[in-house]
Structure 1
Amino acid sequence: SSNAHPAVEKFLKQLFHQMIAGEVYNADQVIVQLDQALELLGRSQTRKINIATATDTGPNRSNNEDACYPPSKTAISYPPSYKTVAMVCDGIGGQEGGEEASELAIKVLCQRLHNIPEDGDPLTIITKLEESAYAANDAIYERNDNEQRQGRQRMGTTLVMALAHLHELYIAHVGDSRAYWITPTRCYQVTLDDDVATRQVRLGYSLYQDAVNQIASGALVQALGITASTSLHPTVQRFPIDEDSIFLICSDGLSDRNRVEEYWQTEILPLLEGKTNLATVRDRLIEIANTINGHDNVTVALVYYQVTDKGQITELSVPPVKVQHLKVEKSRKNSEFNSSDNQFFDNKPKNFPYDSEYKSGWFYLSGILILLVLGGILAYFLSPLVKGLTEQKKITQPLDVSSPKNNTFAGNTKNPSQQTNSIFSPSLSLDIGSFILISHGGHDRESLHEPIELLNNTTNKTVKGTVGDGSILQVTRKLNQSEENWLELQVCATETPSNIDLEFSNFLLQPKDKGWIQQAKIESSSDVIILEKNSEKLDGCVED
């Protein structure tokens, strides 16, 4: 803290002292202290926010499924408050459905913003933004059900929203519409797309450059209105703003093919340098999207922060964390101990002989080293035995096709242990004409319990072939036979594997091959991803 700014030096020394003394014992308490300091520092600056929005159908589309708030071609100025908000939605589900979903989402979100308290703390605001996303999702989802929309007819929308509040900007997003933070020196993409490629990278299955080149890599894994809110996981972030900055939120009509990264220095940075105005930058971004991309609708919203210092920053005065409060919290966290144990820990003498050993960390380090040594010894002696048993099991036991499959690929990226079997509910999407993607999500073939095999017919059930990893299929027929539901699937596109392993099948099915499979196997498989039909992402599939 000796090199810190004089205004924060005393505060940092106080915080570091409490951390070293054990009076601040978790990250949440540090964040609370830092938030108080940031709020006090924020009072030494004034902020003016200018917002400009625009949406355009694009040269190759007949209908605009995007929507924005404030309305298109708006350019207004605000002080930062709970009403200072910009939104971009990119509808999915066909022309009529996509447009309706994006407009409905913005309508519900604008209504919900009134529930955000003007003096709310960060946790309250984050919670309110998440609840707003759930409310918009429920509104679209219920309309889908009320209008009996099925499969690709079900409408949905992406969302990216920027909310300015005091010295911070909050970004909430679902889907692949993006937010960028532009400063005088850098351009940061602050959102991650909710698509197949990004999820594979976040789960460690693939490098990003490899993932984006796979079939259907841009297929969304979540969007507003597609599933119930219990399966929705909106992302909310907050960013303290202490210098002039621009936040760009946009649909993929602009962000595709890295156009923002390519043009921010020539088109957006001049605004921070005072060489152009907000409306000109907005119109230029729409022009770039239409002339250089041109494949989709495009929507942009620019949130321009102008920050001015009021004068000399005075020294911060943040009250230290109350030690008595910490003891209460500690007793709650250690409720599994009995009252005598709690009394012992709370009232032990300050010169307890083991205090220095605990605080220095050597006690824990010694224990970890001992466990590692013991684990290594056990592994050395047990590994030949385990290997022998494994090899014997491979030789003597048949493949158990009824075993539950590993299902870490197709669910929520935040909690792989609680993931679902498919991205969108199969009961909503496995109708005739639906598309599905077969993806093993980085598992090797030996780890699979059961391959996806298609049969020649539903009577003698002879295997026609195996569906390869990365294949896209279309539901062409449905049949109910002997109280079993069957699907006829046609292979639309395949990936060429580097190492073809036919241990579990006769051969890999090729495009235009058809075969039958029980619907229950598709619904329960963790390798199946329900796709929305999209002319770009599924260009290898041709409907009969």
Structure 2
Amino acid sequence: MNCHQCGGTIALTDRFCEECGASLTTNPSLQSSDNGCQKCGAPPSKIDNDRYCIECGFRQVAISNDRIELDFAANFAGASDRGRRHHQNEDAIALKILDPDTYIFVLCDGVSSSQHPELASRAAVTACIEAIAIALNGDRAQPDNAIEIGVQAALQAVSKIPIDPSSSIDPSSTTIVTAIVRDNIATIGWLGDSRAYWLVPEKSLQLTQDDSWMRDAIESGMYTAAEAEASPYAHAIVRWLGADTADDGVPNLTTFAIPSNGYLLLCTDGLWNYAPDPAYLYHTLAQSPAPDPLSIVRHLVSYANQQGGQDNITVGILAIE
């Protein structure tokens, strides 16, 4: 989850934001509980007069996810935006720096066809980044193990979101892409179609491969790329995090040795749908009015909205210099 005042990452149990000091329990602009518990999804009837959820104990915090910006360091920033067509932001982002040289990203895109996708993405980023940080700080687990631990924590958090079992709508679910950068090695894990890119002037790369119907159809030889892209199933995902996850939520993993100066970018499909080609995405990034990551993420979000903003847009960037 994120601070209502500065957008910084907060734990569900925090009383004050560590980034800006804002109170997370006495905010006078506290929203009504019409939408139920922000943590566990319990119905409004479970919120008492003091804004505590009698199911999980969480006190409701005024948090608007329509637009969030995270400016963690001169080289590390992120943003999430509702876009122009969705009625709410079902994406979520968390960033964290450990020590002076370990960077953690987690981005999630709640599956709109599931119950409470906005809760799924928020629960997943919070659980994942906390579990990764504990794993890396505690027994100095290797980054790939830490990502597996983090994704499992995210799966457990999403699976605990209360749902209506009589509904025909799928249980709460979300995509996830996460990365740990340490000693110029990026370790990346993902489920679904949120992506990671390495962006440089000479040879930009897509570092992840979508868990999607389109990719499977093309790789099987059943469809050409053009035919698959024209299909109504083109953007259907075949793996995700949720109570109905079929394969225990084991993430895809890859490592990338960072060869030079450049940008490691993670994003949801609200951005890459408008710039899927790595070279074109770098070209778009390079049009930013300033080279710092916060200016770049603002520029990329603005670009996606200018193209139509059909989906929620979330971007995280680490500049390597």
What is the TM-score when the length of structure 2 is the normalising length?
A: 0.68
The answer on 1:177 being equivalent to 2:198 is: no
2 CA distance for matches of 1:119 and 1:200?
Answer: 41
Aligned to 2:106: 87
Please report how far the alpha carbon of residue 120 of structure 1 lies from its aligned counterpart in structure 2 after TM superposition. 4.8
The structure with higher relative contact order (CA 8 Å, sep 6+) is 2
Aligned to 2:157: 139
Q: Choose from 129, 132, 141 the match for 2:147.
A: 129
Instruction: Please show how residues 24-35 of structure 1 align to structure 2 within 5 Å.
Output: none
1 CA distance for matches of 2:144 and 2:196?
Answer: 17
Aligned to 1:115: 135
Q: Choose from 222, 233, 238 the match for 1:216.
A: 233
What SS class does the counterpart of residue 212 from structure 1 fall into? helix
Please report how far the alpha carbon of residue 257 of structure 1 lies from its aligned counterpart in structure 2 after TM superposition. 3.9
The 8 Å contact of residues 85 and 162 in structure 1, kept in 2 or not, is answered as: yes
Where in structure 2 are there 5+ consecutive unaligned residues?
Answer: 1-72
The answer on 1:99 being equivalent to 2:83 is: no
Instruction: Please show how residues 243-262 of structure 1 align to structure 2 within 5 Å.
Output: 243-258=260-275, 261=278
1 CA distance for matches of 2:117 and 2:87?
Answer: 13
The 8 Å contact of residues 114 and 171 in structure 2, kept in 1 or not, is answered as: no
Please report how far the alpha carbon of residue 119 of structure 1 lies from its aligned counterpart in structure 2 after TM superposition. 8.1
Please report how far the alpha carbon of residue 117 of structure 1 lies from its aligned counterpart in structure 2 after TM superposition. 5.2
The 8 Å contact of residues 49 and 80 in structure 1, kept in 2 or not, is answered as: no
1 CA distance for matches of 2:75 and 2:110?
Answer: 26
The answer on 1:232 being equivalent to 2:232 is: no
2 CA distance for matches of 1:188 and 1:85?
Answer: 20
Please report how far the alpha carbon of residue 266 of structure 1 lies from its aligned counterpart in structure 2 after TM superposition. 3.5
Aligned to 2:213: 196
Aligned to 2:55: none
Give the letter aligned to residue 84 of structure 2: P
Please report how far the alpha carbon of residue 151 of structure 1 lies from its aligned counterpart in structure 2 after TM superposition. 3.5
Q: Choose from 184, 187, 206 the match for 1:167.
A: 184
Q: Percent identity?
A: 25
Where in structure 1 are there 5+ consecutive unaligned residues?
Answer: 1-47, 307-544
Instruction: Please show how residues 431-446 of structure 1 align to structure 2 within 5 Å.
Output: none
The 8 Å contact of residues 136 and 146 in structure 2, kept in 1 or not, is answered as: yes
Aligned to 1:57: 82
List per-residue Cα deviations over 1:249-306 (Å, max 9, x = no partner).
11111111435647434442478xx963222211110011111131111111111111
The 8 Å contact of residues 64 and 95 in structure 1, kept in 2 or not, is answered as: no
Aligned to 1:207: 224
List per-residue Cα deviations over 1:170-193 (Å, max 9, x = no partner).
111111111111123122111111
Please report how far the alpha carbon of residue 96 of structure 1 lies from its aligned counterpart in structure 2 after TM superposition. 6.8
Aligned to 1:69: 94
What is the TM-score when the length of structure 1 is the normalising length?
A: 0.42
Give the letter aligned to residue 63 of structure 1: Q
1 CA distance for matches of 2:74 and 2:236?
Answer: 35
What SS class does the counterpart of residue 140 from structure 1 fall into? helix
Instruction: Please show how residues 367-446 of structure 1 align to structure 2 within 5 Å.
Output: none
The 8 Å contact of residues 275 and 281 in structure 2, kept in 1 or not, is answered as: no
List per-residue Cα deviations over 1:479-514 (Å, max 9, x = no partner).
xxxxxxxxxxxxxxxxxxxxxxxxxxxxxxxxxxxx
2 CA distance for matches of 1:267 and 1:77?
Answer: 30
Structure 1 residues 49, 305: closer, same or farther in 2, change over 3 A?
farther
Structure 1 residues 65, 290: closer, same or farther in 2, change over 3 A?
same
The 8 Å contact of residues 256 and 293 in structure 1, kept in 2 or not, is answered as: no
The 8 Å contact of residues 49 and 305 in structure 1, kept in 2 or not, is answered as: no
Instruction: Please show how residues 292-371 of structure 1 align to structure 2 within 5 Å.
Output: 292-306=307-321
The 8 Å contact of residues 179 and 191 in structure 1, kept in 2 or not, is answered as: yes
Aligned to 2:298: 283
Give the letter aligned to residue 312 of structure 2: N
2 CA distance for matches of 1:231 and 1:150?
Answer: 23
**Which of structures 1 and 2 has the bigger CA Rg?**
1
2 CA distance for matches of 1:229 and 1:143?
Answer: 17
What SS class does the counterpart of residue 291 from structure 2 fall into? coil
What SS class does the counterpart of residue 239 from structure 1 fall into? strand
Aligned to 1:152: 169
2 CA distance for matches of 1:248 and 1:149?
Answer: 40
List per-residue Cα deviations over 1:187-242 (Å, max 9, x = no partner).
21111111111112233433323222223121111111142464434111111123
What SS class does the counterpart of residue 320 from structure 2 fall into? strand
Please report how far the alpha carbon of residue 49 of structure 1 lies from its aligned counterpart in structure 2 after TM superposition. 7.8
The 8 Å contact of residues 185 and 258 in structure 2, kept in 1 or not, is answered as: yes
Please report how far the alpha carbon of residue 78 of structure 1 lies from its aligned counterpart in structure 2 after TM superposition. 7.1
